């Protein structure tokens, strides 16, 4: 990662299953808790292997790849039951637009 100058680490999900299947199950059902832990662990390892590069970047993004087929959900069937779960979707990005900020709280002076 530091050789290529990247900020993300691709992790093969089948390796996680082989290492600890219970961890893989928890990662699927509660990714909001486990992905940050994976990212902290990746950054800690990077600090050992290349401390200068670890200080240069602010954080490491862990990107899971080779997710099992049973996690695949079509975009049409993606629904509320998938909120806060790890899912795999397939598709082609045809257009991307910038993120528009949403004002949650505002104060005006007249």
CATH number of the domain that residue 44 is part of = 3.30.1640.10
CB distance 46 to 55 below 8 Å: no
Assigned domain for 104 exists: no
Can you give the residue range of the structural domain that contains 29? 8-82
Assigned domain for 99 exists: no
pLDDT of residue 46: 92
97: which residues sit within 8 A by CB, 6+ positions away? Answer: none
Assigned domain for 109 exists: no
User: Exposed (0-12), middle (13-18) or buried (19+): which is 88, by Cβ within 10 Å?
Assistant: middle
Number of domains the chain contains? 1
Token match 């257009």: residue? 95
Assigned domain for 40 exists: yes
Assigned domain for 98 exists: no
Residue 101 has pLDDT above 90, yes or no: no
Quick check: pTM over 0.75? no
CB distance 3 to 46 below 8 Å: no
């Amino acid at each position: 990662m530091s050789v290529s100058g990247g900020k993300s680490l691709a992790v093969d999900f089948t390796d996680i299953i082989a290492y600890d299947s219970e961890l893989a199950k928890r990662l699927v059902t509660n990714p909001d808790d486990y992905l940050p832990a994976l990212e902290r662990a990746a950054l800690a390892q990077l600090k050992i292997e290349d401390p200068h590069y670890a200080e240069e970047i602010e954080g490491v993004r862990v990107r899971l790849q080779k997710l099992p087929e049973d996690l695949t959900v079509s975009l049409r069937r993606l629904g509320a039951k998938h909120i806060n779960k790890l899912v795999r979707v397939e598709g082609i990005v045809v257009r991307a637009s910038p993120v528009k900020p949403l004002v949650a709280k505002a104060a005006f002076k007249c």
